Amino acid sequence: MRGGNREVFANGPFGSRILVGQSVLLEDAALKHLALMMGATGAAVLLIGLLGGYLLSRRTFRPIQAMTGVAGEISATQLSRRLNIDEAPTELRELAGVLNDMFARLEAAFQQQIRFTADASHELRTPLAVIHTHTQLALTRERSAEDYKKTLATCLRASTRMKGLVESLLLLAGADAGRLSLVHERLDLRDVVEDCALMVSPLAAEKQVVIAADVQRAELMGDAARLGQVVTNLLSNAIRYNRQAGRVDVSLAVKGAEAVLQVRDSGVGIPAEHQPHVFERFYRVDAARSREAGGNGLGLAICKSIIEAHGGVIELQSEAEVGTTFTVRLPLAAGEAAASGPAGIQISRTLPAADPASGAETLPP
């Protein structure tokens, strides 16, 4: 290589040497131009890629940023905001739908909590007002022993009502936190049902309501006191909201691996629009009638919590002018499904309405 020439030497005949050369300036210039073009093209491609990636990422993340902004605006006082699914990209619409469902559940839970707090405050305020008013009146001047006794009796009734409400609220709070205190022991649900039917029979006698029980042995693991609370509540409601001289049918049977308890009344039924809400706390189908009967709207909510804590379910069926049926399904004790089939003991018993004047009722043998 010399200058801009490319030279090659070769030995010729008779001791001669042959020199062949060619200029490579044009080729060098072409190669340099090609390298420059490739470098420029690569830089342009890199720049375009970076710019396109930036624009694409902004376009991709813009909906996510919008979703994040909407989610950030949701607060305790503004739970109604929702993501616009139609404006979301196709690949994010499913996520937006899931988030909207979550926001809806949060709003419903928060509204329920607000109602629960307001209703609890209202229910507690009434007996407190009674106690405060009667105590204040009793202290305004000297009164007779009989007047003081009546005032104390009134305050006792109000405090008893308030105590029951507080205990119910504590039970529901424990159930919500998964800390409902239960005694797990082997029991025969038939005994619980029969005891509860006998316990509410005076209430049935007052209203001339007949309780017919058709129960079968069903052993399970559970808390007899809590389950008795459920059965008593269902029977009391069936009697309290029944027709005069009506009927309550109680059945207990074993179906597969479940004990199925049904309480059916001959009342006026529950309107269809109220049925989805009967297990809600402080919900009353007839608020005035419930207050007169001393109810606070927590009975069925407590029943539902207790049954679910036992691994069971409680269901409602009602028909206007026909009556209402509550069905409770509870898992049997291990190995009890086969034993409680045809070999189960079945008892049919009717509790006739007694003479209200005597306050007694008779049981057939």
List the CATH number of the domain containing 157: 1.10.287.130
**Do the domain assignments include residue 363?**
no
Single out the residue in 22, 37, 71 at which a domain terminates. 71
Question: CA dist 19 to 1, 22, 73, 358, Å?
Answer: 12, 10, 86, 145
325 and 263 Cβ atoms separated by less than 8 Å: yes
Span between the terminal Cα atoms of the chain, in Å: 129
- Does residue 327 share a domain with residue 217? yes
Provide the pLDDT confidence category of residue 306 given band limits of 50, 70 and 90: very high
339 and 333 Cβ atoms separated by less than 8 Å: no
pLDDT digits (tens, 9 = 90+) for 54-76: 888 777 777 777 777 777 777 65
- In the predicted structure, residue 82 carries a pLDDT above the cut 60: yes
- Does residue 297 share a domain with residue 206? yes
Least confident of 235-244, 280-289, 340-349: 340-349
Q: In a 3-state reduction of DSSP, which class is residue 38?
A: helix
Residue 236 sits in a domain of what CATH number?
A: 3.30.565.10
Q: Is 215 or 342 the better-scoring residue by pLDDT?
A: 215
Q: Is 24 or 149 the better-scoring residue by pLDDT?
A: 149
Q: Provide the pLDDT for residue 43.
A: 92
How many residues in the chain? 365
**Do the domain assignments include residue 306?**
yes
The average confidence (pLDDT) of the chain is 80
Handedness of CA 162, 166, 172, 176 (dihedral sign): positive
**Do the domain assignments include residue 287?**
yes
Q: Provide the pLDDT for residue 356.
A: 39
What share of the chain has pLDDT > 70, as a percent?
A: 85
Least confident of 74-78, 118-122, 281-285: 74-78
pTM: 0.63
d(CA 191, CA 230): 14
- Does residue 312 share a domain with residue 167? no
Least confident of 107-121, 126-140, 265-279, 345-359: 345-359
Single out the residue in 141, 176, 211 at which a domain terminates. 176
- Does residue 194 share a domain with residue 168? no
Q: Provide the pLDDT for residue 264.
A: 94
The single-letter code of the amino acid at 359 is G
Q: Provide the pLDDT for residue 75.
A: 66
- Does residue 141 share a domain with residue 11? no
Q: Is 44 or 123 the better-scoring residue by pLDDT?
A: 44
- In the predicted structure, residue 281 carries a pLDDT above the cut 70: yes
- Does residue 301 share a domain with residue 236? yes
Q: Provide the pLDDT for residue 287.
A: 53
- Does residue 307 share a domain with residue 201? yes
Single out the residue in 148, 176, 204 at which a domain terminates. 176
- Does residue 209 share a domain with residue 247? yes
- In the predicted structure, residue 189 carries a pLDDT above the cut 90: yes
- Does residue 298 share a domain with residue 194? yes
- Does residue 115 share a domain with residue 242? no
**Do the domain assignments include residue 79?**
no
- In the predicted structure, residue 190 carries a pLDDT above the cut 90: yes
- Does residue 61 share a domain with residue 100? no
Question: CA dist 184 to 177, 180, 225, 258, 313, Å?
Answer: 19, 12, 11, 17, 18
Domain that holds residue 39: 5-71
How many domains does the structure of the chain reveal?
3
Q: Would you list the DSSP string of 85-104?
A: TTTS-HHHHHHHHHHHHHHH
- Does residue 154 share a domain with residue 38? no
- In the predicted structure, residue 322 carries a pLDDT above the cut 90: no
Q: Is 267 or 20 the better-scoring residue by pLDDT?
A: 267
Mean pLDDT of all residues in 264-273: 89
**Do the domain assignments include residue 319?**
yes
For tokens 């309290």, the residue is 240
Mean pLDDT of all residues in 255-261: 93
**Do the domain assignments include residue 365?**
no
